Amino acid sequence: MDEVDHIVAAWQRERPDLDLTALQVLSRVSRLAHHLDVGRKTAFAKSNLESWEFDVLASLRRAGKPYALLPRELIKENLVTSGTMTNRIDRLEKRGLVSRRPDPADGRSIIVSLTQAGKELVDEAFAELLNLEAELLADLSGTEQSQLANLLKELTKQFNN
């Protein structure tokens, strides 16, 4: 029995009138998310990055050459407010990981670009993250990993707009 089994058993004893199926699934997802967050922080710390720094740099890296996006695109990908993204860009620019230049298509806007140092750092951190995640999934077969990925994809569809 795991910790969720103990919680479910206690609730079944106290509230036998309730269906606890969702609790059995989502409590495990919640606990897994916590462990993944801790693991991400550990993986990124090896590259001297915070999770939010990785997320912004990774957005730029995934954009492909020239590794540049508009702030509104970064906001959408990182699910943060405009003010938060401005602060993050400022901090990454001070570290020499991103640069800003005027958008030639719209002089009122800027383009945020990944610097070579930023590219190298995010590549290093991403490799470390993939190693950690592979270790976490090592006990599942390839088929089980695919099944789990598909089930989680189905579950999260309701949140994708």
Please, what sign has the CA dihedral across residues 137, 142, 146, 147? negative
Q: What is the pLDDT of residue 107?
A: 81
Q: What is the pLDDT of residue 64?
A: 97
pLDDT tens column, 35-88: 999 999 999 999 999 999 999 999 999 999 999 999 999 999 999 999 999 999
pLDDT tens column, 121-155: 999 999 999 999 999 999 999 999 999 999 999 99
Nearest Cα to Cα of residue 54 among 129, 131, 111, 109? 129
CA distance 3 to 28: 9
End-to-end CA distance of the chain: 37
Backbone angles phi, psi at 152, to 5 degrees: -65, -35
Assign domain 49-159 to its CATH architecture: Orthogonal Bundle (1.10)
Q: Is the pLDDT of residue 161 over 80?
A: no
Nearest Cα to Cα of residue 96 among 117, 110, 112, 113? 117
pTM of structure: 0.85
3-state secondary structure at position 109: strand
Average pLDDT on 26-36 reads 95
Residue ranges covered by each domain of the chain: 1-45, 49-159
